[in-house]
């Protein structure tokens, strides 16, 4: 049987990451170890509490894994899943001879326990809404499972990247907030966690018994340093083998033994426009703001051009499903005409009014996110140019969750595994009220709903693409948000020490488990 590494290495780069002279490495130039820096530290390492929900979970394997460029490959599954004609039942043959990090054997009961915990309210899993279509999962035999769904759902394989945990860790149906998996993960993945000094660092060690072979990079240390400039300075001093950085800062660090890379993504930044607000709920305001937003200007000024303008949630990187005609021209005069025709007239201070209503609303952003703050400022400036007053407010995430139904917010999301994961939870009216960030603007559009539902039901890839393109066209005819940009993710990595780097289309989640190191378990020393 051809395993995952055999499939993936056929497309891996075979050249070393060539560069200038390599700075001295603190670990005695040992190519079997790596020191990375990350600006983000996870709160939990439990896949049922959202850890690595888009895959690339170094401590866990899912039934399926992402190939880095829009397709899924079997991981703990022995072969691609088989569907009934109506896409409501999926059968999966499991890989044999796999063991968890604690030595216990992997079998169908572990899959059943993991997925049942995802949907059982007793476990209070934070990913439960992602699996709302799952009615039950059954062990057909020790090496076969069957998933029965409550709706036809063609994208189900994309939901199979969920990390599988041992059934013993889920024996008690209780909230997972106190689960030992939160800090001591036990999976089947290519790396084991051997140390976690919270707030400081994490150490991974290669799993010698991994079903796809022991990683050649046997030890990876991840240092947590939240300040971008601090990480950049420490890379410049030769301390780290790589890190994630804002694009403009990353561009300044290439050379001298390092390489800067920018990865395409499905990661968008958008402005929600709450439908129940007297200003942002008005279709004319929504359409006008979409024409008033200077997306290209934001990309150049804030991201150094490292990204693409966004008009809908579907990125150009998901090219089979992307509809290039679904867009808004940057046209302030058109925006002003739309507002004039809808009765929004400029006041003496330049802010428009209709009746007694002032064209004004609050736009929140997470106070710890500098890019969202910059985007909020740029959007507010563009809105002011057509007579709409946007007051920006930096808030913490708890405060944002409490106000998200009434105030606009700069949000980020994106998952390239399937167009359903990219669009449905952000736009379909059925998910309103099912989670804080599920359709937070409470957008309702029957044509968008119908197209998204069609994309879920259709098994033929070409038919699915038609449905998602219809959804994008319907959205731009009646927008409920302002999508601004798909942002590239930027990294700096040491050159000349390892081979195996391969670009990847990334989800919203990124950092040292994604980036250049999404497939680090397949890397090799260059010499």
- What are the DSSP calls for 433-501, one per residue? TSSTTSSTT----HHHHHHHHHHHH--SHHHHHHHHHHHHHHHHHS-SEEEEEEEPEEEEEE-SSEE--
Side-chain half-sphere exposure of 292, counting CA atoms within 13 A: 26
pLDDT at residue 324, as a whole number: 98
Would you give the DSSP letter of residue 378?
A: H
pTM of the model: 0.91
State the Cα–Cα distance between residues 503 and 74, nearest whole angstrom.
Answer: 20
State the Cα–Cα distance between residues 368 and 396, nearest whole angstrom.
Answer: 8
Contact by Cβ (8 Å): 30, 241: no
pLDDT at residue 242, as a whole number: 97
Give, in order, the Cα–Cα distances in Å from 208 to each of 9, 63, 458: 19, 20, 41
State the Cα–Cα distance between residues 254 and 524, nearest whole angstrom.
Answer: 22
> Dihedral through CA 146, CA 150, CA 151, CA 157, nearest 10?
-30
| Helix extents (H) in 320-412 | 332-341, 370-384, 397-403
How many Cβ atoms are within 10 Å of 246's Cβ, its own excluded?
A: 21
Contact by Cβ (8 Å): 350, 358: no
List the structure tokens of 344: 């929004």
Give, in order, the Cα–Cα distances in Å from 518 to each of 316, 492, 495: 21, 14, 17
Q: At 261, is the secondary structure helix, strand, or coil?
A: strand
How many Cβ atoms are within 10 Å of 155's Cβ, its own excluded?
A: 18
Would you write out the chain's pLDDT as a tens digit for each of its 527 residues? 334 444 443 333 332 333 333 334 555 468 899 999 999 999 999 999 999 988 889 999 999 998 888 789 999 999 999 999 999 999 999 999 999 999 999 999 999 999 999 999 999 999 998 999 999 999 999 999 999 999 999 999 999 999 999 999 999 999 999 999 999 999 999 999 999 999 999 999 999 999 999 999 999 999 999 899 999 999 999 999 999 999 999 999 988 899 999 999 999 999 999 999 999 999 999 999 999 999 999 999 999 999 999 999 999 999 999 999 999 999 999 999 999 999 999 999 999 999 999 999 999 999 988 899 999 999 999 999 999 999 999 999 889 999 998 999 999 999 999 999 999 999 999 999 988 899 999 999 999 999 999 999 999 999 999 999 999 999 999 999 999 999 999 999 999 999 999 999 999 988 899 999 999 999 999 97
List the structure tokens of 16: 């070393």
Contacts of 466 by beta carbon, 8 Å cutoff, 6+ apart: none
Contact by Cβ (8 Å): 279, 360: yes
Give the chain's largest Cα–Cα span.
75
State the Cα–Cα distance between residues 213 and 241, nearest whole angstrom.
Answer: 23
State the Cα–Cα distance between residues 162 and 23, nearest whole angstrom.
Answer: 38
State the Cα–Cα distance between residues 106 and 223, nearest whole angstrom.
Answer: 31
Q: How many residues does the chain have?
A: 527
State the Cα–Cα distance between residues 145 and 137, nearest whole angstrom.
Answer: 7
pLDDT at residue 435, as a whole number: 84
Strands 219-224 and 33-38 come out as parallel
Domains of the chain: 42-197 (3.90.76.10), 268-487 (3.10.105.10)
């Amino acid at each position: 049987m051809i395993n995952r590494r055999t499939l993936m290495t056929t497309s891996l780069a075979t050249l070393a990451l060539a560069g200038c002279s390599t700075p001295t490495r603190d670990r005695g130039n040992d190519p079997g170890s790596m020191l990375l820096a990350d600006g983000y530290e996870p709160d939990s390492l439990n896949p049922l509490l959202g850890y690595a929900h888009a895959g690339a979970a170094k401590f866990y394997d899912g039934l399926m894994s992402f190939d880095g460029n829009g397709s899924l490959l079997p991981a703990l599954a022995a072969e691609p899943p088989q569907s009934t004609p109506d896409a409501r039942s999926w059968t999966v043959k499991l890989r044999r001879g796999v063991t968890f990090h604690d030595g216990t054997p992997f079998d169908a009961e572990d899959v059943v326990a993991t997925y049942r915990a995802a949907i059982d309210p007793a476990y209070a899993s934070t990913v439960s809404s992602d699996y709302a279509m799952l009615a039950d999962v059954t062990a057909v035999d020790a090496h076969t499972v069957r998933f029965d769904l409550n709706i036809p759902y063609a994208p189900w394989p994309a939901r199979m990247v969920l990390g599988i945990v041992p059934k013993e860790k889920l024996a008690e149906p209780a909230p997972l907030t106190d689960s030992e998996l939160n800090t001591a993960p036990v999976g089947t993945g290519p790396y084991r966690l051997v140390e976690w000094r919270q707030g400081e660092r994490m150490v991974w060690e290669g799993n010698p018994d991994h079903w796809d072979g022991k990683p050649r990079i046997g030890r990876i240390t991840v240092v947590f340093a939240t300040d971008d400039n601090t990480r950049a300075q420490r890379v410049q001093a030769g301390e780290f083998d790589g890190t994630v950085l804002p694009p403009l800062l990353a561009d300044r660090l290439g050379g001298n033994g390092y390489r800067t890379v920018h990865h395409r993504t499905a990661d968008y930044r958008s402005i929600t426009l709450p439908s129940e607000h007297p200003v942002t709920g008005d279709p004319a305001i929504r359409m006008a703001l979409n024409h008033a937003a200077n997306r290209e200007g934001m990309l150049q000024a804030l991201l150094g051009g490292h990204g693409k303008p966004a008009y809908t949630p579907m990125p150009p990187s998901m090219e089979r499903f992307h509809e290039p005609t679904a867009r808004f021209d940057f046209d302030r005069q058109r925006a002003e005409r739309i507002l004039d025709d809808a009765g929004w007239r400029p006041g003496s201070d330049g802010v428009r009014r209709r009746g007694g209503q002032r064209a004004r609303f609050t736009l929140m952003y997470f106070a710890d996110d500098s890019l969202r703050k910059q985007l909020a400022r740029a959007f507010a400036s563009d809105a002011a140019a057509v007579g709409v007053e946007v007051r920006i407010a930096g808030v913490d995430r708890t405060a944002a969750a409490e106000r998200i139904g009434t105030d606009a917010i700069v949000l980020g999301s994106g998952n390239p595994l399937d167009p359903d994961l990219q669009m449905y939870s952000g736009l379909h009216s059925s998910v309103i009220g099912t989670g804080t960030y599920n359709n937070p603007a409470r957008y309702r559009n029957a044509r968008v709903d119908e197209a998204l539902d069609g994309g879920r039901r259709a098994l033929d890839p070409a038919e699915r693409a038609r449905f998602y393109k219809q959804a994008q066209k319907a959205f731009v005819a009646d927008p409920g948000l302002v999508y601004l940009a798909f942002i590239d993710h930027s990294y700096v990595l040491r050159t000349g020490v390892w081979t195996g780097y391969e670009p990847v289309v990334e989800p919203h989640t990124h950092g040292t488990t994604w980036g250049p190191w999404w497939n680090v378990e397949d890397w090799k020393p260059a010499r």
